[in-house]
Structure 1
């Protein structure tokens, strides 16, 4: 994973997006404002053709791409490579224009039913000004990926208006848990409740798979989020949707505690945290300062507690999504209910038509 902190660039301009439901906080559910339902892409079916794109960091190893194609084929789908999927331009998978052209082509192609990102890294934000939003909006298709793909998920929510899936990238491990979660959402149109599997450690009290509630209770709202670093870098741009009444889900990797603190502070100062109906913080992989600067400082849980508890809405940490092999597929823009006490996310509507 390349260092995003050296690569992120400010994009400017004011945020835009459609209004989302009002918050529901506390232990009991309250009334919600009616919001326009999110549009749905068609569900995936066995035999469908899906596009493979590389919108961020390069992956110029044909063997690795073959593994991705084999994983897609194992799902019963037919992979179709983007024209520039094996390109390299510095640390990017081709120029901004070429990477955007592959995305535009997949959404214009009637044969392609969904679009999978081969990998993340850095670079998705750079393609946003080059995307054909008229074409993308006119042809709802699932976009699948996580990490840097968060920039595309947020932009699609703001500019295209249909649900996408924050889930494994093409090169992910696609473990049994990850595959079954994705299949339920993308193929079956199910409305499951996601709960971490129980730990199987040889100890009296299990440590694995636990969640921590910062504020207990139940909340409803549209799921929006992804990688915290990438999302924060879009603040102040026209590619971030309206978070009013939303349930924010966030994760990260290789970020020291003080950086998580800094990014949550920015979301708070930007007025985003104060609009939410609930928060789910997933996995933060290797989120400890490597230079010893965290010694005597705040732990990650303490940082989260400082930012999330004062919001007065249900919030919890530890759900299985993020930079981990086993991860749930969370559809962006779909109504969901969280139970911070139980550590669950329940979809209230299908992500696909």
Structure 2
């Protein structure tokens, strides 16, 4: 017994072959999108229920100057999924392999992207870097692909999003113009004495630098413990959500805390939590402000809420994995370099 204890104590001093922490892949930027490029549209999660919605998405991308191509299994359906896992993954792999496709956009989210992660060809994706865009459940693909390949992915509009002037402007600046933008909320007061909509709330003032990582909080928290999350050390975490009770938001942030993720961050940004109010009948409920006070304020790291990130019409395009600087007092996220080549 003493020999075994001595061996374990000695072995703990050195990394064991096959058990050392994986080295994160080098950051890889995709090529910028240009008018005339072809966008691959695919359904990685929920089915495409509305053909009119698909037509609007196609016409919106054409109005931006793009051509579109749909995956062979685009209209498949398997219960609440857009076809079998292997077929949905095959569509995404094929788009990265196809030299005529310049970027890939998810039609919409739902549930199902995490089921594809073991089926993707990460070597193929790294050899053929292209912009991948979406939000909500697409968070699983954005984080998983970045973790496995180093490819910068993009939390932004899906095909079914509202392609309005605000959303299109950030899409163009980030993905087409390769600008090192400063993401900042609109400051329109309307006919009010002060700004009411899209306000920023500073939790902890200050500035911080790090890689931008994040997405939908529910999806992200369900990937903890898998090999499809990136290294969080000195990163800026941005999260958003929709339709979650406050206690669930509390539970998920507690999960991030217990997993050691919150302690590794250099900064924290919360976007929008759409339809996440305590609601009627929630006697004794905490508010989101209470939850942030419990979990984020004690970190004593720059943090703010209210960024234009989430299930909203007017949204940023946020690169996942790019170096950035946040200013919690001003409520800004400044990219330190362009996210595409």
TM-score, length of structure 2 as denominator length:
0.92
1:297 shift after superposition: 2.1
Q: Name the structure 1 match of 2:44.
A: 55
Q: C-alpha offsets along residues 91-129 of structure 1, whole Å, 9 cap, x if unaligned? A: 001110110000000000011111000000110001111
- Alpha-carbon separation, structure 1, partners of 2:191 and 2:118: 52
1:81-230 matches, cutoff 5 A:
81-230=70-219
Are residue 324 (structure 1) and residue 308 (structure 2) matched? Answer: no
1:60 shift after superposition: 3.3
1:289 shift after superposition: 4.0
The structure with the largest alpha-carbon Rg is 2
1:16 shift after superposition: 7.0
Are residue 336 (structure 1) and residue 324 (structure 2) matched? Answer: yes
1:178 shift after superposition: 0.5
Query: Which one of the candidate residues 223, 232, 257 is aligned to 1:234?
Result: 223
Query: Which one of the candidate residues 312, 332, 344 is aligned to 2:300?
Result: 312
Say if 1:228 and 1:17 are closer, same or farther in 2 by CA, change over 3 A. Answer: farther
CA contact (8 A) 1:60 1:87 kept: no
1:46 shift after superposition: 0.7
Q: Secondary structure at the match of 1:112?
A: coil
Say if 1:18 and 1:143 are closer, same or farther in 2 by CA, change over 3 A. Answer: farther
CA contact (8 A) 1:147 1:323 kept: yes
- Alpha-carbon separation, structure 1, partners of 2:320 and 2:245: 27
- Alpha-carbon separation, structure 2, partners of 1:15 and 1:248: 25
1:209 shift after superposition: 2.0
1:199 shift after superposition: 3.0
Q: Secondary structure at the match of 2:137?
A: helix
1:200 shift after superposition: 2.9
Root-mean-square deviation (CA, aligned residues, Å) is 1.6
- Alpha-carbon separation, structure 2, partners of 1:113 and 1:204: 46
Please, which runs of 5 or more residues in structure 2 have no aligned partner? 1-18
Q: Name the structure 2 match of 1:10.
A: none
1:290 shift after superposition: 4.7
Say if 1:152 and 1:305 are closer, same or farther in 2 by CA, change over 3 A. Answer: same
CA contact (8 A) 1:15 1:237 kept: no
Q: Name the structure 2 match of 1:255.
A: 244
1:296 shift after superposition: 2.6
Please, which runs of 5 or more residues in structure 1 have no aligned partner? 1-13, 20-35
Say if 1:15 and 1:237 are closer, same or farther in 2 by CA, change over 3 A. Answer: farther
- Alpha-carbon separation, structure 1, partners of 2:328 and 2:89: 38
Which structure carries more relative contact order (alpha carbon 8 Å, separation 6+)? 1
Q: Secondary structure at the match of 1:104?
A: helix
Q: Name the structure 2 match of 1:299.
A: 287
- Alpha-carbon separation, structure 2, partners of 1:230 and 1:105: 25
Say if 1:37 and 1:189 are closer, same or farther in 2 by CA, change over 3 A. Answer: farther
Number of equivalences: 323
Q: Secondary structure at the match of 2:102?
A: strand
